[in-house]
Structure formats: C-alpha cells, structure tokens
C-alpha cells in the first residue's frame, strides 16, 4: 500500500500530525507513507521514522494553475492507494479527485463529494486529536497515541557537548526560544514578544536563581532578535542551531523551556519536557495536553506583548 498525506502548516503542525502518521504505520506496517508539506516544514521529519519520503509544495503561495497541475502530476506518477489531506477547502478535494487516488480522506466540507471518505471536523479539541480523527476515514478508531519524536543519537551527543561548551553545571539551565525576527507564519507566534520583556524576565530569574544558567536559542530566523536580547542582558549563554533534532535534544536537557513559538512548544510536549508557552489569542487546549509539565499564559487582549514579565515570572516560580 502507498499512502500520501498532504499536511499544511509549519513545523509545529507537522509534529502534531506525527501521532496520525505513527498510527498509520502501526496499522499498515508494510505501507509506504509519504507526506507533502511546505518547503520550510520538511525539516520536521528529521525526527520522525514513520515517513518514507517528504515531498514539498508551497500550499500558502499564490500558485498558478500550472503549479497545481504539476502537483497532480507528481502525485499521479507515484500511484498512491490512499490520500489524506488536512486542508479544509473544496479545492483540495478537487485536486485529490484529479489524481485518481481510489481512497481520499479529509474533513467534511463543500468538497465532500470529491472526498469519498470524509470525516467530521472537530476544532474544539487538542490539535493532534483533530488530525487523528482523519483515520476514521480508514476505519481506524483507536485512541490517538501520545505525541512522540525520534531524536537522532548524534543530536543527543551534540547537545551534551554543547552543554559542556556553555559551562552549564549540575544545577542545569532554562532554555529560551524568543521566536522569530518578524511575525511568523506559525499560528501561535503572531507577534514578537518585546526584547526588553525578555530582558526583565532573565534579569529577575538570574537574581533569584543565580546557579541556573539561561540559554538563548539562536537560529537563522531569529539571529537579530537574540542578539538584541543578549545585548540587553549580558549574563546569558547562546546556542546556535538549525537542526530540529538538536533543538529537541537541548529542550530535553533543560530544566524549563520558555517560548512563544509553536515548534519548540510541540517538541517539548513530544519529549515530556517542562514548558511555559506564551500565547496571543490561541486556546491552550488546542496546542497543549493537560499536564503539570505544560503551562500556558494566554494574553488577555489577544496581543502577546500584553503578557507582562510579571505574569511569566509568576508561572516560572510557582511551577
């Protein structure tokens, strides 16, 4: 059997889809499972073993008809038996109908006649559960498995070496992922949390917990933001990384992750690591399971900048 899943959204959304992919592999161990995702989201599959091949298509772009025809052609060439889409528009149903794939699974919408195995859409639940509901279109009605990832051993070793390089002692460290330089396409990271707020949080934390290191995560997407925060608060350490596995390994080793970005939030959930997530207007129940390890601070106004440093510090020290 050959299965393809068209999964829209950023890296965090891909990780939330992992339980669905893992369950597919459990029910069909000999199946080849491929995904089609945004080009920026492909790196998520560095920490997933259930997927054979990851193809890319920029769903969010203003694609021409020729682009969509090329997508249909790419899918048809691979002769899939089953297609699953997280897209909710009638157009995605139309695209899958054009591929000629016998079994087409998606959420009920205006394109339902073209998806011959539609399932009800329930957005008022944890996102991983919402995605897992799609398997009902294949007759799979088992509970959604826990979110999990596979961190390469080389990335685990890298994280251990990085902690030594940063001179982190036995009391550990908190990891701060400040988000990106500009508004993210991620559903959660809609705005930049002010650098001076990060500075206030770090300063008071260091005063109260001087033996615990504070480590900022720097990537190509947030280099300027991290540099600004580091300049405001000099007694921080900075780790530079790009691989998802390395980020996951650093999160696993941390006493606490503090972030407003969906990708590290979901990596923390998948590794059962302590996390405090700063949310603008999103409902915590959609992105975080109920657990003492996963805490959320939701803005009272829908703007992430209206979460005060005091709000964050109270969560840190009452955790």
- The pLDDT score that the predictor gives to residue 187 is 43
Does residue 209 lie within any of the structural domains?
yes
* Same domain as 223, residue 158: yes
Domain count, the chain: 2
Does residue 144 lie within any of the structural domains?
no
Beta-ladder partners of 278: 297
Give the integer Cα–Cα distance in Å for 210 and 66. 59
- The pLDDT score that the predictor gives to residue 112 is 66
What is the tens place of the pLDDT at every residue in 109-144? Answer: 755 678 999 999 999 999 999 999 999 999 999 999
Taking the CA atoms of 138, 141, 145 and 147 in sequence, report the sign of the dihedral they define.
positive
Give the integer Cα–Cα distance in Å for 248 and 147. 13
**300, 289 Cβ separation under 8 angstroms:** no
Domain final residue, candidates 138, 163, 187: 138
Burial class (CB in 10 A: 0-12, 13-18, 19+), 239: buried
Give the integer Cα–Cα distance in Å for 198 and 62. 36
* Same domain as 201, residue 88: no
Q: Which two tokens stand for residue 114?
A: 């073209």
Does residue 143 lie within any of the structural domains?
no
Q: Which two tokens stand for residue 171?
A: 């009391």
* Same domain as 203, residue 112: no
Does residue 146 lie within any of the structural domains?
no
* Same domain as 260, residue 195: yes
* Same domain as 252, residue 313: yes
Does residue 52 lie within any of the structural domains?
yes
**172, 212 Cβ separation under 8 angstroms:** yes
Domain final residue, candidates 88, 103, 138: 138
* Regions in the chain scoring below 70 on pLDDT: 110-112, 181-190, 319
- The pLDDT score that the predictor gives to residue 186 is 45
* Same domain as 181, residue 133: no
Which pairs with CB-CB distance under 8 Å and at least 24 residues apart come from 56-65?
Answer: 57/6, 59/6, 59/8, 59/87, 60/8, 60/185
What is the tens place of the pLDDT at every residue in 245-275? Answer: 999 999 999 999 999 999 999 999 999 999 9
* Same domain as 292, residue 174: yes
* Same domain as 86, residue 127: yes
Q: Apex CA 81: angle with CA 77 and CA 83, to 5°?
A: 90
Does residue 38 lie within any of the structural domains?
yes
**What is the full DSSP assignment across 57-80?**
--TTS---HHHHHHHHHHHHHTT-
* Same domain as 51, residue 131: yes
Q: Residue 187 sits in which domain range? A: 153-318
* Same domain as 177, residue 124: no
Give the integer Cα–Cα distance in Å for 281 and 31. 39
Does residue 147 lie within any of the structural domains?
no
* Same domain as 184, residue 129: no
Predicted TM-score (pTM) of the model is 0.92
Domain final residue, candidates 138, 170, 199: 138
Does residue 145 lie within any of the structural domains?
no
* Same domain as 281, residue 166: yes
CATH assignment of the domain containing 127: 3.40.50.2000
């Amino acid at each position: 059997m050959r299965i393809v899943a068209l999964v829209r959204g950023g890296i965090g959304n891909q990780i939330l889809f992992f339980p669905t992919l893992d369950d597919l592999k459990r029910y069909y161990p000999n199946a080849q499972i491929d995904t089609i995702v945004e080009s920026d989201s492909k790196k998520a599959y560095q920490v997933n073993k259930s997927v054979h091949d990851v193809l890319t298509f920029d769903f969010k772009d203003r694609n021409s008809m020729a682009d969509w025809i090329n997508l249909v052609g790419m899918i048809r060439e691979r002769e899939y038996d089953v297609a699953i889409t997280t897209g909710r528009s009638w157009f995605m149903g139309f695209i899958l109908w054009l591929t000629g794939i016998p079994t087409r699974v998606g959420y009920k919408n205006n394109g339902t006649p073209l998806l011959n195995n539609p399932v009800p859409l329930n957005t008022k639940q944890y996102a991983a559960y919402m995605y897992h509901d799609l398997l009902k279109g294949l007759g799979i009605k088992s509970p959604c498995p826990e979110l999990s990832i596979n961190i390469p051993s080389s990335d685990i070793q890298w994280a251990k070496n990085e902690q030594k390089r940063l001179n982190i002692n036995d009391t550990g460290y908190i990891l701060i992922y400040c988000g990106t330089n500009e508004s993210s396409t991620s559903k959660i990271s809609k705005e930049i949390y002010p650098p001076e707020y990060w500075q206030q949080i770090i300063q008071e934390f260091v005063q109260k917990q001087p033996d615990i290191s504070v480590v900022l995560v720097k990537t190509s997407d947030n280099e300027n933001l991290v540099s600004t925060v580091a300049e405001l608060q000099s007694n921080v350490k900075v780790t530079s990384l790009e691989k998802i596995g390395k980020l996951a390994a650093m999160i696993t080793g941390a006493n606490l992750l503090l972030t407003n970005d969906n990708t590290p939030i979901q990596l923390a959930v998948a590794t059962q690591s302590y996390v405090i997530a700063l949310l603008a207007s999103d409902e915590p129940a959609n992105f975080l399971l109920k657990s003492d390890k996963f805490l959320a601070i939701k803005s009272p106004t829908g703007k992430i900048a209206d979460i005060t440093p005091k709000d964050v510090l109270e969560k840190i020290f009452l955790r």
